[in-house]
Amino acid sequence: MNNKSLTSNITTPINLEQLNQLNSIIKDLSDNQLLWVSGYLWGVVNQNINKKTNIIIQQEISTITILSASQTGNARKISEWLYKELQLNTFNVNLINAGNYKFKKINQEKILLLIISTQGAGEPPEEAAALYKFLMSKRAPKMNSTYFAVFGLGDSSYEFFSQAGKDFDHRFAILGAKRLIDRVDADIDYEDKIKIWFNLLKKNLKNKIKNNCLDQKKENLINQQKIHINNYNRKNPFNAFCLLNQKITGRNSDKDVRHIEIDINNSKMVYHPGDSIGIWYENDDNLITEILNFICLKGEETVKVNDNIISIKEALKNHYDLTKNSSKIVERYAILTHDKNLLSIIHDRHKLHKYVSNYPIVDMMRLTPVKLTAEQLTKILRPLTPRLYSIASAQSEVENEIHITVNIVNFKIDDYIRGGGASTWLSNRIEEDNMRVFIESNNNFRLPLDKTVPIIMICTGTGIAPFRAFMQQRAYDNASGKNWLFFGNPRFTEDFLYQIEWQEYVKKGFLNKINLAWSRDQSEKIYIQDKIRINGMDIWYWIKEGAYIYVCGNANNMAKDVEKVLLELIVNYGKMSIEKAEHFLSELRIQHRYQRDIY
């Protein structure tokens, strides 16, 4: 057979050299062999076409993106629940952590569901900070082809309740995106609202998506790392017990800070530096007695809680938050009491938030006592929620223990001593007392995987806790990366938390640099941002060397002041405009080189 004659007058998609190679291969093949080769090549081509087609189909039907932006874990849990529910309803859906989201392509989303919490003074959670800045800037793209829905989480006891959700919802609309359903702003008792929101969402989604009946691989894009699943969680805590409760501030300190060690032996719980521990606490008996007296209850009256009939005293001890007041609580109480002063306050937003900040629940009832039924009382209050504390230990170092650093909250109102709910309970724990605990992972506050990378740790007060864990882990790993600590507190002699440990790290050369800011040791107050400003050039050199920057502490003051001075040094030593400096810091966030754990 003359193969050349078959192709000499035909235009081919292959060049002459390829054609000659093909002819040399097939010239000695029989007719049957040529038929087999023909069928084989057809199969190869068809397989490739099918692969490409499948990819295209998957891309077309993966139309729902759930964006999770969480600070304490609630938004993440809701996002994971929503992801599973949408899958069960045969929708094709992706779940993505806001910290890992490629937000510059946000305008390519067809349907975007944002589950977001709020922290500080109405700010987005850390993992959504870069996305927030991008969307609020002039660089944000039009989103005319996107449908969206926002479920916001917050705490109504704060002035800027669910503000991050409100901001995103408003901005999406400004950019041209269309609402699937109205935004919901949920308080800490969000369970009923998320179910109502989901049912309405599901109905609207079915009207928007045609291809909602195809199977999709069950993969969770929220984190690329391998995650250990702990058997214990918020609803199923582990019964640990207290090993040590030691005050670590001086006798003349204005603060009472405790180092508490918790035994988690036999739990098989796994945690990493940067994670938090959730602790279910009990309300103080004296506080419960005060509240019952002010509303004329004995404590024996019964109420229904979680389908169980229990005494109001037991309900207040284990099921309701008695320490943090909120706008809704004041409003409900004002209506029950018919008190003119309270009724006037609830109609003035500024006065209401000031009242909430100044008067805990017990003092509101002390100043305006009224006779209530047990059921009326429980309808006013919010459910008890666990308190999260940054873990101050590395499991590689302490094994079946968890260490925490707790500031015991105490303050005076009209000569009455008041305290924080969780910290008061923790302050009274003694050796072998039981504690119901669980791990709350925080993948947005992690040491670099590369142990040669330098790190800069910036903190005030009990914000030092996760950095104790960081240093224990770096020492255990024998990490060669440099370590630099900035720490601020009122006084050196009274408030240098874990002083001996830090000095030992310095002595061994493991803590390469340490800068301390004592605000009350001299007439002129010195804060942590002042120390950062003084060391600006060296910090810039470390950043250029690839350093990771970590900030832990108060969100309202310290974290904002630190970010402001970081931008200053980027402008000064990086020779940038403020706009470029902000972009530079956002890029560090995206690269996980600027991480914050603030509260």
Q: Is 70 assigned a ligand-binding role in the annotation?
A: yes
- Number of other CB atoms surrounding residue 546 within 10 Å: 14
b or e along 22-35 (b: 16 or more beta carbons within 10 Å of the residue's beta carbon)? eeeeeeeeeeeeee
Q: Is 74 assigned a ligand-binding role in the annotation?
A: yes
Beta strands in 201-301 (DSSP E): 238-247, 257-263, 276-280
Q: Is 520 assigned a ligand-binding role in the annotation?
A: yes
pLDDT at residue number 44: 52
Q: Which tokens sit at 428? A: 């009274």
Q: How far apart are CA 278 and CA 92, in angstroms?
A: 33
pLDDT at residue number 414: 92
- Looking only at the bridges linking them, the beta strands covering 416-419 and 257-263 are unpaired
Coil/strand/helix, residue 116: strand
Do residues 148 and 180 touch, judged by C-beta distance below 8 A? Answer: yes
Q: Is 493 assigned a ligand-binding role in the annotation?
A: no
The residue behind tokens 């947005």 is: 444
Domains contained in the chain, CATH given: 64-209 (3.40.50.360), 238-268+386-440 (2.40.30.10), 285-383 (1.20.990.10), 455-598 (3.40.50.80)
Q: How far apart are CA 241 and CA 263, in angstroms?
A: 5
> How wide is the angle at C-alpha 381 spanned by C-alphas 380 and 382, nearest 5°?
130
- Number of other CB atoms surrounding residue 478 within 10 Å: 8
Maximum Cα interatomic distance, the chain, rounded to a whole number of Å: 109
DSSP letter string over 40-63?
A: HHHHHHHHHHHHHHHHHHHHHH--
Question: How far separated are the first and last CA of the chain, in Å rounded?
Answer: 82
Q: Is 526 assigned a ligand-binding role in the annotation?
A: yes
Q: Is 302 assigned a ligand-binding role in the annotation?
A: no
Q: Is 388 assigned a ligand-binding role in the annotation?
A: yes
- Looking only at the bridges linking them, the beta strands covering 238-247 and 434-440 are antiparallel
Q: Please give the chain's pLDDT, 599 residues, in tens.
A: 444 444 444 445 566 666 677 777 777 776 556 555 665 565 554 454 444 434 333 444 447 999 999 887 889 989 999 998 888 887 888 999 988 888 888 998 999 999 999 887 788 988 899 899 889 988 889 999 999 999 999 888 777 888 999 999 999 999 999 999 999 998 877 888 899 999 899 888 887 765 433 333 333 433 433 445 568 999 999 999 999 999 999 999 999 999 999 999 999 999 999 999 999 999 999 999 999 999 999 999 999 999 999 999 999 999 999 999 999 999 999 999 999 999 999 999 899 999 999 999 999 999 999 999 999 999 999 999 999 999 999 999 999 999 999 999 999 999 999 999 999 999 999 999 999 999 999 999 999 999 999 999 999 999 999 999 999 999 999 999 999 999 999 999 999 999 999 999 999 999 999 999 999 888 889 999 999 999 999 999 999 999 999 999 988 789 999 999 999 999 999 999 999 999 999 999 999 999 999 98
Q: Is 117 assigned a ligand-binding role in the annotation?
A: yes
Torsion sign over Cα 364, 369, 370, 375: positive
Q: Is 18 assigned a ligand-binding role in the annotation?
A: no
Q: Is 118 assigned a ligand-binding role in the annotation?
A: yes
- Number of other CB atoms surrounding residue 475 within 10 Å: 18
Q: Is 528 assigned a ligand-binding role in the annotation?
A: yes
Q: Is 120 assigned a ligand-binding role in the annotation?
A: yes
Do residues 129 and 589 touch, judged by C-beta distance below 8 A? Answer: yes
Residues 6+ apart with CB under 8 A from 340: none
Q: How far apart are CA 216 and CA 212, in angstroms?
A: 10
Q: Is 599 assigned a ligand-binding role in the annotation?
A: yes
Q: Is 522 assigned a ligand-binding role in the annotation?
A: no
Q: Is 333 assigned a ligand-binding role in the annotation?
A: no
Cα–Cα distances in angstroms (integers) from residue 320 to residues 361, 379, 380, 403, in the given order:
12, 10, 10, 26
Q: Is 390 assigned a ligand-binding role in the annotation?
A: yes
DSSP letter string over 253-275?
A: -S--EEEEEEE-TTS-----TT-
Q: Is 71 assigned a ligand-binding role in the annotation?
A: yes
Q: Is 387 assigned a ligand-binding role in the annotation?
A: yes
Q: Which tokens sit at 580? A: 């470029």
Q: Is 130 assigned a ligand-binding role in the annotation?
A: no
Q: Is residue 395 classed exposed, middle or buried when 0-12, 13-18 and 19+ CB atoms within 10 A define those classes?
A: buried
Cα–Cα distances in angstroms (integers) from residue 519 to residues 87, 525, 528, 530, in the given order:
54, 5, 9, 10
Q: Is 420 assigned a ligand-binding role in the annotation?
A: yes
Picking from 117, 122, 120, the residue whose alpha carbon sits closest to that of residue 151 is 117
Q: How far apart are CA 434 and CA 414, in angstroms?
A: 34
